[in-house]
A and B are shown apart, each in its own frame.
Chain A
């Protein structure tokens, strides 16, 4: 039976589920974002796709906040003993960059929509108010950040996946299995 919380050498159900949920959301939002900005005015998704993009984005922000909080309440499994200091350093750096870029993309996206004082509706249920608006060139500048840092995030995520596959198939260690929730041997 898989535990909710992490242990010193294993990821628990919450961390594993959130990891893959965020993966799915990030790639879905990236694809949706590129697709929706290219829709013609008369496309039936012209209004719904951006609304969905923003709603999922705000939800992901909430999930990411909880994810960061969760790190305070549950142990972070130690690196595998087979990982060299260089691997440990690089993976820490990579994970930190993933967190930084994902928050940068989410905050910059919010700042595009709120540039002229409008809030962001979340699935039509409630609205996140505009807290920062009217900065010079706000929508265009944060729009550029949103696009390019999103590409950076996707590149990092692909690198992250390639690294996990390298550990699984070449080093034959438990790096990927741990994140799939498999119990350590």
Chain B
């Protein structure tokens, strides 16, 4: 009886301390509730959209201390898809992402600064095409709560704009197409 009470007390204290600490989430790759999309101007006349299909990552988030949050994403660059085989092949080539030489892109947050209710600037190191640079992702919190299958989920979306030349991509696509907008839309399952 005493043992059981002690166990319950211990369990209770572990649970309550977990609730105070930031919770860890794994990006839901299995259920495909996560997207890394890119958008670049075509000639200045329209938007070209594409996506990276294969990536994984984790984040930690605590409502009470959003600035203690962290994000890590690992992405397989060869998984890019813009719905056009020859363009995708070209984008994987050394003219653009050189995916055979640089098969991985990574993002690791270094600082999170709250910019308002549910919004934050996430500074971090992005490694892409073999170049590592500090970038800022403007992120907002979408929602969190229980899912219908016994888990707990939280979702965010973040955007950032990269200059192609900053990451060693010197292909001349025209003056309107020197930068690309990346959107990271992720849902994490709490561990």
Contacts and interface: CB of A to CB of B under 8 A. Distances in A.
Interface of A: 40-42, 50, 112-118, 133, 137-140, 143
B129 to A, nearest CB: 17
A76 B89 CA distance: 42
Given A116-B83, A116-B84, A118-B84, A143 B89 contact: yes
A109 to B, nearest CB: 11
A116 B172 contact: no
B92 A140 contact: yes
Nearest to B90: A37
17 contacts: A40-B172, A41-B173, A41-B174, A50-B86, A112-B86, A115-B85, A116-B81, A116-B83, A116-B88, A118-B84, A138-B85, A139-B86, A139-B88, A140-B78, A140-B89, A140-B92, A143-B89
Contact of A112 (B81, B89, B171, B174): B89
B174 to A, nearest CB: 7
A139 B89 contact: yes
B171 A41 contact: yes
Given A42-B172, A42-B174, A116 B92 contact: no
Given A114-B85, A116-B84, A139-B86, 6 more contacts: A41-B173, A113-B85, A115-B88, A116-B85, A118-B85, A143-B89
B178 to A, nearest CB: 12
B172 A41 contact: yes
B100 to A, nearest CB: 8
The majority secondary structure among interface residues of chain A is: loop
Size category of the binding interface on chain B: 10 to 19
Nearest to A144: B100
Contacts of A40: 172
Contacts of A133: 85
Contacts of B89: 112, 115, 139-140, 143
A137 B78 CA distance: 9
Contacts of A118: 84-85
Interface string B54-85: 00000000000000000000000010010111
A40 B52 CA distance: 25
A113 B86 contact: yes
A118 B191 CA distance: 41
Contacts of A139: 85-86, 88-89
A133 B85 CA distance: 10
Contacts of B100: 140
Of the listed residues B81, B84, B86, the one surrounded by the most CB atoms of chain A closer than 10 A to its CB is B86
Contacts of A138: 85
Contacts of B78: 137, 140
A18 B83 CA distance: 38
Nearest to A143: B89
Contacts of A114: 85
A140 B86 CA distance: 9
A135 B153 CA distance: 34
Nearest to A40: B172
Ranked 5 nearest A-B pairs via Cβ: A115-B85, A116-B85, A139-B89, A139-B85, A41-B173
A111 to B, nearest CB: 9
B156 to A, nearest CB: 30
A95 B21 CA distance: 73
A138 B78 CA distance: 12
Contacts of B172: 40-42
Contacts of A140: 78, 89, 92, 100
A115 B88 CA distance: 10
